[in-house]
Structure formats: C-alpha cells, structure tokens
Structure 1
Amino acid sequence: MPAGRKPMGIEQVDLLLGSEAARRRLAVLLANVAGELSVDEACQELGLHRSRFFELRKQWLQGSVEALEPEPAGRPVGASSESLPPETGGDGEKRPPRIAYNASGEVGPTPDTSGNGVSVGSVGALGRIAELEDLVAQTRWELRTSQLREELAALGLSRPKRARPAQKKTGLAARPAHRERGGAR
C-alpha cells in the first residue's frame, strides 16, 4: 500500500480563489482532459459550442504552459533594487499586493507565496504590468503635450484648444432657423 494521502483530484479546484463560474469551467476542463467527460458532455455542462470549447481549452492549456516556463534562479544580472518594482525593494516595508488577471479574465491580487510581503505573479500578470507601464508612459506623454500647448498659448505663440459650449437639452426637437411663409404645414 502506497504511503501518503490519497490525491484529491478535481476537487482541488474548490479550494482555489476565483468565481464559482471560473472554478466550474476549470473543473469541467480538467475532467475532459482526464478523460472523465467527453467533449460533448463538457460542452453541454458549460453551455458552449464545440468550437468555443476547443478555443477555451487551448487558451487554458497555453496559459498553463506559459505559467510553468522555467526561469533562471535569483535576481537578474545587473539588476539593482532601484530598477526592481517597489514591492521587491530592500527597505523592509510591506507593500500593497499587486493586481493580476486570472485565467477567466477576472482581476484579483496575486498570491503571496514568499511569506515576506512580496507578491509573486504569473507570466500573464507580468505581461499585464508591462502593458500598464506602457500606458502610464503614454499618458505622461499626452499630459506633457497638453501642458506644452497651454504654455505656448500663454506666451501667445498658439491658440489654446477651446471646448464648444454645451447646448441645452430641452427634450424638444430642434426648430429650423426660419420657416417659409405660406407653405403647407
């Protein structure tokens, strides 16, 4: 008789964080991959068409492979604590948790697996963080552009962009500027 606990199997999904719908989808996908459910049964259980089921399963498996890609151990060569995210700085302060997207597209904190307040995200979370950093850089550029326009306008070198005055909304249809007299009404 083998030593150790009996494996929990698909029931482990119930212990994961996430919405009930996402956990149910994962359980059905696992049952299909394990051969416990046919594709038709899984489609019926999830209320999906076969093509959407195959697309969802491939997306889930691809995300799993990406999350399990091996990474070099330790800090990257040449990285200092200043170049790392604030959560990993060496000042000893506990940082707020990072936000990540889970497999079902929902937002939630990444799990803290280190025990020291450092949030460890998946590859998908790191990609999302990079996207957000690019968005912040773009927003800064747009803010600089608008500030430059305002300063040029203050110097009289260009005209500021002015917003059109808002029209009153009365709920009545707009009247024509003038009516022809004597015409049929």
Structure 2
Amino acid sequence: MALTSRTAWRDIRSPLTVADLRAMLVAPSRGVIAFPSRPYDEVYPGIIIGDCWMATDPVILESLRVSAVLNAAQGIGQSHLVDTDSYFYESRRLPVKFLGLRAIDADWYRLEDWFQVAADFIHESRRSGKVLVHCVQGLSRSATLVIAYLMIKLHMSLSQALQTVRARREIFPNDGFLQQLIRLNNQLMDARRVNVSWL
C-alpha cells in the first residue's frame, strides 16, 4: 500500500488510531496478518530487520556486511528472548557494535522508553555500514524500533514510516506498540509545528 497524500494529511489533521494502523499492516496481504516469509529483509538502505536465527548465524551476518546489531529481545531462558551480547559476536570474530534491549513483546511493555536510544544507535551505525535490528521473529519489537527511527531521525510521518517497512517485510507490532508509535507521532508533529511557527 503506497503512502498517499490523503494518508499523510490524516497524520496531521486527525490523529491515526490503532485500527487505522492495523488496516495499513494487513492491506498488502489482503486483510490477513502475514508473518515474515524470509529470515531477514533490508527494509531501508542500511537497515535490516531479521529473526533470531539469522542474528546468530555468523556466515549470514558476514555475507550481508552487518557492522552493528540491535537485539530488541536480549535475555536468557525464555522463548521470547535471544541470548546474545557483545561477547557472543566477539567470540565468533564478528566485529560488530552491539546494543541489547531486554524488551518484552506485550501490549503493556513500554518500548517507547527505548525509542530515542535505539534511534541514536541505528543512525550512528548506518554511517559505517549496515545495522541488523532483530527480535525473535522480526515481527513486532524490531519493526517498532525501526519505524520509530524513521520517524525520529528521517522525519517521516507514522503512516509513511510504517508503510515503508511493511512494503519490504511482513510485520505486525502489537497494539500497545502501535499506540506508543501514535504517541510518538503526535509528539513529533507538535514539536515540528512549534518549530515552524518560529520561522
């Protein structure tokens, strides 16, 4: 689903709802939730979203020339966490910068507390190569952080950022994360309106 001027205008004039975002996410798959069909996808130049299996495969990471890894599901012992850290990559002779976030894929989890940290890491990492942002499936946590990055650093609207990522990978952030992205969108729109009014 391509971004239309009507959709972009909606971001400004009347805030998006979770239902609006869900509709955008399922539109390319004819109204059904689609799970990722590949272990990884480059969703924007220099930004790869992937799953936990490709994130732990040195051969794939080296072949993709990944120079930084953001694990949005760092941890040990639970099925929704991925046990990697800086040492994991060092021991496999992969010279990558690493950021690990122990985020939970649940409506109640405040992933928005990490939006700025993740955006700064992705932005800096893109200057020197490709960055992999992953969780377990590359479906919810990692996708949310990449969307937030596109909004914060590249000044995309929420609908534009979401559709940019969805055009290249099947994603479906949970409703709580979608609501947090709506809040971020509103904050950024308000800040930009204030900045423009000072010109």
- TM-score normalised to structure 2 length: 0.25
TM-score computed with the length of structure 1 as normaliser:
0.27
- Higher strand content, 1 or 2: 2
Higher relative contact order (CA 8 A, sep 6+): 2
More helix by share: 2
| Higher Cα Rg, which structure | 1
